[in-house]
A and B are shown apart, each in its own frame.
Chain A
Amino acid sequence: MLPILLLFSLFILLRGHYYPGGGFVGGLIAAIAFVLHSFTNGTDDTLKLLRVHPSAFIPVGLGIAALSMFAPMLVGQPVMTGLWFNEPFPVIGLIGSALFFDIGVYIVVVGVVLTILFTISQYSE
C-alpha cells in the first residue's frame, strides 16, 4: 500500500493547480500512507523507514514554501508574484513558483501530522 498511496499523493499534489487537490491534501494522503504502515509494522519500524524524525520535515517544507514566496524578488517582481517557466516539462506540464509553494506545504503537512501522531502513539505505548 505504501508506494501506491505515496504515488497517489504525488498525483494529487501535481493535479492541484487546476483541479481539486494540492499540497495540503496530498500531504495528508502521504501521511496516511505512513500511518497505515505504522499500524501494521509498528511505529518504530516506520520511523526507521523514514530515516529522519518527521519533525525535521517541518523546517524544510517551510523553507521551500517561503523561498518560493520570495523568489520573485530576485527577478525584480513584487513578493508572491507567480513565476512561470516558459517551456512545459514533460508529463507535469507548466511549472511555476506556486508548485514549489505546494511542495513546501506538502512536506510541512507530512511532518506535522506524523510528528503529532507518532508522539501520541509512542507516549501511549
Chain B
Amino acid sequence: MIDNTLIFPVIVHLFTAIVLLFFWRKTVAQRIISIAGSLIAMLLAVRLFTMVWNDGIRTMQAAGWDAPFGITFVADVFSSMMVLLTAFSGVAVSTYSATGVARGRMLYGYFPIFHLLLMGLNGAFLTGDIFNLYVWFEVIIIASFVFMTLGGRKAQIEGAVKYMAMNILASTFFLTGIAILYGITGTLNMADLSLKIGALENRKLVDITAIFFIIGFGIKSAVFPLYFWLPSSYHTPPSAVAAVFGGLLTKVGIYALFRMFTLIFIPDDFLTTLLVVLAIFTIITGTFGAVIKNNIRRVFSYLIVCHIGFMVGGLGMYSEIALTGALLYLFHDIMVKTNIFLIAGLIRKLRGTMNMDKLGGLYKEYPLLSLVIALVLFSLVGVPPLSGFWPKIYLFEAGFIDAQYALLAAIIVGSFATLYVIAKLWAKVFWKDQPELPDGESLRDEFKPLNRFRKSLLVAPIVFLAAITLYIGLAAENITAVAQHIAHEMKDVSPYIEAVLGPNVSP
C-alpha cells in the first residue's frame, strides 16, 4: 500500500529548514517560522502515533522499490512514539530558543540547523534500512557539529573536537558492522536481516558483528567505557542546544541499540551478560561523576550517563518486563533530560552562573517557578507517583526474576546518588540564601529586564515539558500500555517483518 503519511515528520522539518534559509538575516521571522514548523511537526507526529496505535505498523517503500531491495520506512509503535517525543522536545526547544539563544547565533543559521537535526532524528527513528539508518546518523552528527561550534568560543571548539573525534570513531565502527552484515547476509533491510541472521549457523561471527554495533552505538549513547566525551562536550554549547543533545541525541543511540538487539541480533547469553556488565559500570561511573561536580550542567551531563545505564541494563536483562521498564525509562528520560537542560539555562539567565556554590535563594524569589522545577527534578529522582518511579518498579521486578542482583544494586546506588545530587542541587540553588560572592564578582540577571512575552517564552516550554512528565507519572497506565505493547513487539518481531516483506515470508 502506498502510504506517504509516515514520512511527513521528516518532510516538515526539511521544508521548515529550507524556508528558514530564505529568511537568513531576519531573526524575528526565523523564530516564528521555527515555532510554527515545530508545532506542525508535533501535530503530524500525534497523527502518526494515533494511526499506528490504532491500525498497526505502517510501511513505505521509497520510490516504489519493494523491500528488501529499496529503502523502506517503517513506523511501528516504538518509532512513532520516539517521533512523538522528539516532536514535543522540538516544540519546547524552539520556543525556548526564541529568547534563550543569542541573536548572533541565529544570524549564523541556528534555526535551520536545528530543524535539520530534528529531520535527522525523525529519519533515524522511521527508517527500516540499516544503511539508511547510518545516513541519518550522519545527518544528525553533521548538524550537531555545526551546533556545537556555533558561536566559536574556545571551550566550545574544544568540546566539539572531542565530540567529533568520538563520533567519527563510532560511525566507523557502525559502518564496519554494516559492511560485515552485508557481507554475511547480502541484505541491508532490517526485516530481511532479521530473518537471515536468525538462519545463520556461525553464531560466533554474529556475536562479533554485534560487538561492532555495541561499540558504535555505545559511543553515541555514552555507555561505559566510552562515555567520557559526553560530560566534557555537553556543557559547552548554549542550553537550548544542550537540551536537544542531552534529551535526544544520546537516546538515538539507545533507540538504535534497542532496534538492533531486538530485531536483528537476538541476544544470547554472551551478549546479555556483556550488556548488563556495561550497564552496571555505566551507572556507577556516571554516579561518581555526578556526585563530585559542582557546575549544574556538568552534573546533569553525568546524570545522563548514569541513566543511560538503566536503559542498557533493561535491554541486557531482555525479558518483556525488563524491556517495558527500560522503554518507560526512555520515554520519561527524553522529556525530563530535555527539560533539566532548559532549566539549567533558565537558572543561568536568572543568575548568570551555573556554579552551585554561587547560587542560592531562587525559591524565595520565584516560588511558583521553583515548584514546577521541583516537580521535574523529583520526577528525575523517581519520587512516586512521578514519572521516574514507574520504570524502576519494572526494572526491579525484572531484576528479581532474572536474579541480576549486581545490576539491581547498581540501579539502587544510581537512584540514591541521583536523589543525593538533586537534593543537594535543590538545597543549594533554591533553598539556601544567596551566598556572599568573592570580591570582583557580581551576578548578572538577564531575566528581569525582559518583557512579559519573552519571559513567558522562556518559562512556557519548561512548564509544557513538566506537564508531559506529570502526565507520564500520573497516567502511568496509558504509557505503560504503550511500553508493554512495544516490548511485546520486540519479543515477537514477526508483525514487523510481515509488514515490511509481505505476509508469506516468516520462517
Spell out A's residues near B (CB within 8 Å): 55-56, 58-59, 62-63, 66, 70, 73, 76-82
Q: Is the CB of A81 within 8 A of B24?
A: no
Q: Is the CB of B21 within 8 A of A58?
A: yes
CA distance A80 to B4 in the complex (A): 11
CA distance A80 to B60 in the complex (A): 11
Q: Is the CB of B62 within 8 A of A80?
A: yes
CA distance A80 to B61 in the complex (A): 10
Q: Is the CB of A70 within 8 A of B11?
A: yes
Minimum CB–CB distance for B60 against chain A, Å: 6
CA distance A87 to B183 in the complex (A): 43
15 A–B contacts, CB within 8 A, in A order:
A55-B24, A58-B21, A59-B22, A66-B14, A70-B11, A73-B4, A77-B64, A78-B2, A78-B60, A78-B62, A79-B60, A79-B62, A80-B63, A81-B63, A82-B63
**Interface flag for B15 (CB, 8 Å):** yes
Q: Tell me whether chain A's interface is mostly helix, strand or loop, or mixed.
A: helix
- Write out the residue numbers on chain A whose beta carbons fall within 8 Å of the beta carbon of B18: 59, 62-63, 66
For the complex of A and B, list the 9 residue pairs with the smallest distance between their C-beta atoms, beginning with the closest: A59-B21, A80-B63, A81-B63, A81-B64, A59-B22, A62-B18, A78-B64, A73-B4, A80-B62
Within 8 A of A (CB), among B15-39: 15, 18-19, 21-22, 24
**Interface flag for B7 (CB, 8 Å):** yes
CA distance A79 to B62 in the complex (A): 6
- Write out the residue numbers on chain B whose beta carbons fall within 8 Å of the beta carbon of A66: 14-15, 18
Q: Tell me whether chain B's interface is mostly helix, strand or loop, or mixed.
A: helix
CA distance A34 to B62 in the complex (A): 37
- Write out the residue numbers on chain B whose beta carbons fall within 8 Å of the beta carbon of A70: 11
CA distance A57 to B60 in the complex (A): 32
- Write out the residue numbers on chain B whose beta carbons fall within 8 Å of the beta carbon of A79: 4, 7, 11, 60, 62-63
Minimum CB–CB distance for A110 against chain B, Å: 15
CA distance A77 to B60 in the complex (A): 10
Residue of B nearest to A73 (CB): B4
- Write out the residue numbers on chain A whose beta carbons fall within 8 Å of the beta carbon of B60: 78-79
Q: Is the CB of B21 within 8 A of A62?
A: yes
CA distance A47 to B140 in the complex (A): 34
Minimum CB–CB distance for A123 against chain B, Å: 15
Minimum CB–CB distance for B172 against chain A, Å: 25
Q: Is the CB of B2 within 8 A of A77?
A: yes
Minimum CB–CB distance for A104 against chain B, Å: 10
CA distance A101 to B7 in the complex (A): 19
* Supplied contacts A59-B21, A80-B63, 19 more A-B pairs, CB within 8 Å: A56-B24, A58-B21, A59-B19, A59-B22, A59-B24, A62-B18, A62-B21, A66-B15, A73-B4, A76-B2, A77-B2, A78-B2, A78-B60, A78-B63, A78-B64, A79-B4, A79-B62, A79-B63, A81-B63
Q: Is the CB of B15 within 8 A of A78?
A: no
CA distance A81 to B4 in the complex (A): 12
- Write out the residue numbers on chain A whose beta carbons fall within 8 Å of the beta carbon of B24: 55-56, 59
- Write out the residue numbers on chain B whose beta carbons fall within 8 Å of the beta carbon of A59: 18-19, 21-22, 24
Q: Is the CB of A78 within 8 A of B21?
A: no
- Write out the residue numbers on chain A whose beta carbons fall within 8 Å of the beta carbon of B15: 66
Q: Is the CB of A78 within 8 A of B4?
A: yes
- Write out the residue numbers on chain A whose beta carbons fall within 8 Å of the beta carbon of B2: 76-78
Minimum CB–CB distance for A124 against chain B, Å: 19
> With A55-B24, A59-B21, A62-B21 given, is the CB distance from A78 to B61 under 8 Å?
yes
CA distance A12 to B64 in the complex (A): 28
- Write out the residue numbers on chain A whose beta carbons fall within 8 Å of the beta carbon of B11: 70, 79
Minimum CB–CB distance for B410 against chain A, Å: 45
